[in-house]
Structure 1
Amino acid sequence: MNNQSLQQTFLRIRSNKAFELFVVGVIIFSALVVGAKTYNIDPALLELIWWMDHGITAIFLIEILIRFFGEERKRDFFKQPWNIFDTLIVVVSLVPVDNSDMALVGRLIRVFRVLRMVSIIPELRLLLNSLLQALPKLGYVILLMFIIFYIYAAIGATLFSSINPFLWEDISVAMLTLFRVMTFEDWTDVMYETMEVYPISWLYYLSFIFLTAFAFLNMVIGIVVNVLEEEHQKERDEEALAGGRPSIETLSMQVEELKRLVEQQNELLKNRQPSP
């Protein structure tokens, strides 16, 4: 069997839905094994779990090798961040640290193997990629929210510190209290306490909740949904190009070009008409 046919064999295995479901099942089982280690269990069962953990690591190693050798151009395998992440997790899992000072690090690395679920399932990858794409836009919303928090915390610390120093002692504590108000964690108790001294302080809380919990939260949701839709559109365009069909962007450009040609033809026809 030559290298080309071997690569095609690995590619068929990698693209097989049953193989993908098997890997997902192993990842789920790996998560259960990690959780089982947190219980006080019988030493014999712990020994069995130890062997299971090594078996899972071996399966992950074989799966990574299949995906690597199934790649037509091997260098392209490491151009995808998720492939690099999976390889690092598997390689670090192979390091024998169970009986060393790095045993805690080894156990933590095995916990992160659950994240491989994201790299295996395309829908989860799309969601996480959309969230990462939205982070730059969310940064400005978070900055504006911090400004609002800071202003309201300064006002709250100035007015309410004498009422309850535990909640309003300084601006940093006041920001924590405002976070409690924004998440609606017994915020009415905080409000009624200050209303005993400042009856109209309810305006302070309601305006803050409106700005943060309602306005800014909806802005964050809108940005994430918009980016998610853009990622879905990119995925549909890539599938259309792979299938030989024009993408939405290409169709839009063609429609605009047709409109421009029709307008030019109409102008020519008007110019050719004899004047009365």
Structure 2
Amino acid sequence: MIGAIVANAVIIGINTFTLDGWVSGVLMRLDWIFVTIFVIELVVRFAADGLDPRRFFRSSWNTFDFLVVAVCFIPGVSTSATALRVIRLLRVSRLLRIMPDSRVLLRGLRRAAGPALSLAALTVLLCYLYAVVGWMAFRDHGNADIPGYFDNIGEAMLTMFELLTLEGWNQTLHDLRQVSPFAVPYVISFLLIGTYIVVNLVVGIVINSLDEAYKERDHERALEYMATGGERAGVEATINELRTVLDRLEAQLGTAVQADEPLIISGDGPDAVETTGAQNHQPSRNGSQLAAGETAAVELPRAEVADG
């Protein structure tokens, strides 16, 4: 599906050139082939959701893909070249759904939207205050060679926006200094507040929101693993326990062979495997049952160990 979307994007780029009539016809047929592929994809995903419309449209990505494909079949749209170009461009944006971590990025940007809008409002207020001060200080410069940076509130706000983007701020400062020495603290203070503080705060808000989105993603994955991986975790724990028992048994077998001692394997847990020396070896009780509290043991003579 990624290949189909990328190929569709390539065709959109080819359509920007001046082409012969037959080439345009071929590209139009290819475009409808891609539409057919996208329709089949939607049908398969709808069937995967159990043919349940509520479950299918619960995903915002499914809704977006459905609208992008469905618009192609609206009467009048297929005959409009501009509308078709817009629809084709929207198909390319479907790559966002397939790109890795795109959902996390969009979730982070959505988290940052609220604080960023509040900070944007403060930035507009700051520009307005500085624009009014600049209008009062620099409007009557009487120099035809200096542009009208502060002739009215509109020009003043545009000047503040240019300073905020650091576009030509040094030329603006040079021109305003010819009008008033107040230009130096005026421009520099606005640059420090507007650029190095406000803009960096926006960057910090976005980075913090993305960090929270990634943590939320990791938490969801952990919950999903705990919900679906409990049985697997139990099997892995059992395998690890058996490996521990086998490692201890191999080590004690080697020790018993080197020391010429019988090996006593007792108990039923990983910590119950132990090697006893000759002084701890006791003969059997002529077939009688072991006393209460004693551990059942299996004696492996040295000869049997060697044969093994």
Please tell me the TM-score bracket, short chain as reference. 0.7 to 0.9
What is the alpha-carbon distance in structure 1 between the residues aligned to residue 169 and residue 116 of structure 2? 26
Question: Which residue pairs with 1:150 in the alignment?
Answer: 128
Q: Greater helix share, 1 or 2?
A: 1
Task: Look up the match of 1:135.
Answer: 113
The secondary structure found in structure 1 opposite 2:101 is: helix
Cα separation, 1, equivalents of 2:78 and 2:213: 45
Alignment equivalent of 2:95, drawn from 117, 127, 135: 117
Q: Which runs of 4+ in 1 moved over 6 A?
A: none
Does the residue aligned with 1:167 lie in a helix, a strand or coil?
coil
The aligned counterpart of 2:234 is none
Classify 1:80/1:66 alpha carbon distance in 2 versus 1 (closer, same or farther; 3 Å).
same
- 1-side partners of 2:61 and 2:111: how far apart? 15
* CA pair 229-179 structure 1, distance change in 2 beyond 3 A: same
Match of 2:198 in 1: 216
Residues 1:125 and 1:107: Cα distance change in structure 2 (over 3 Å): same
SS in 2 for 1:156: helix
Deviates more, 1:152-161 or 1:164-173: 164-173
> What corresponds to 2:70 in structure 1?
91
| Distance (Å, rounded) in 1 between the aligned partners of 2:184 and 2:3 | 53
Bigger relative contact order (CA 8 A; separation at least 6):
1
Q: Deviation string for 1:184-213 (max 9, x for gaps)? A: 211111110010121241111111111111
Alignment of 1:67-216 (within 5 A): 67-72=45-50, 74=52, 75-95=54-74, 97=76, 100=79, 102-163=80-141, 164=146, 166-216=148-198
Q: Please give the TM-score of this superposition, normalised by the length of structure 1.
A: 0.75
Counterpart-to-counterpart distance in 2, 1:136 and 1:165: 37
Question: Partners of 2:37 and 2:111 in 1: how far apart?
Answer: 32
Q: Deviation string for 1:10-68 (max 9, x for gaps)?
A: xxxxxxxxxxxxx1222122122122212111222111111111111111111111122
Q: Identity of paired residues, percent?
A: 32
Q: Secondary structure at the match of 2:58?
A: coil
Work out which of the two has the higher radius of gyration on C-alpha atoms and give 1 or 2: 2
After TM superposition, give the deviation of residue 228 of structure 1 in Å: 0.8
| Matching residue's letter, 2:70 | V
Q: Which is worse superposed, 63-72 or 142-151? A: 63-72
What one-letter code is carried by the residue in structure 1 that aligns with 2:24? L
Query: Could you list the per-position Cα deviations for residues 115-162 of structure 1 after superposition, in whole angstroms to 9, with x for gaps in the alignment?
Result: 111122241222122112211111110111111010011111222223
Residues 1:47 and 2:31 are matched in the alignment: no
Q: Are the equivalent residues in 2 in contact too, given 1:93–1:110 (CA < 8 A)?
A: no
Deviates more, 1:138-147 or 1:107-116: 107-116
Gaps of 5+ in 2: 228-308
How do residues 257-268 of structure 1 correspond to structure 2 at under 5 angstroms?
none
* Separation of aligned partners in 1, 2:5 and 2:188: 46
For residue 198 of structure 1, what is the amino acid of its counterpart? S
Which letter maps to 2:30?
M
Give distance in 2, aligned partners of 1:98 and 1:38: 19
- Distance in 1, Cα, partners of 2:56 & 2:98: 14
Q: Tell me, what secondary structure is at the counterpart of 1:216?
A: helix
- Count of residue pairs the alignment pairs up: 223
Equivalent residues in 2 for 1:51-70 (5 A)?
Answer: 51-70=29-48
Secondary structure of 1:243's aligned partner: helix
Deviations 1:53-96 (A, max 9, x none): 11111111111111221124722221111211111001112335
Distance 1:24 1:56 in 2: 12
- Cα distance between partner residues in 2 of 1:60 and 1:196: 63
Change in 2 beyond 3 A, CA 1:73/1:232: farther
The answer on whether the counterparts of 1:57 and 1:94 sit within 8 Å (CA) in structure 2 is: no
2:73 maps to amino acid: L
Secondary structure of 2:69's partner? helix
Unaligned runs of 5+ in 1: 1-22, 246-276
Residue pair 1:141, 1:220 contacting (<8 A) in 2 also: yes
Aligned mates of 2:134, 2:218 — CA distance in 1: 50
CA contact (8 A) 1:98 1:106 kept: yes
Which shifted more, 163-172 or 182-191?
Answer: 163-172
Computed over aligned residues only, the root mean square deviation of the Cα atoms, in angstroms, reads 2.0
Higher mean C-alpha displacement, 217-226 vs 236-245: 236-245
Contact 1:97–1:103 (8 Å) recurs in 2: no
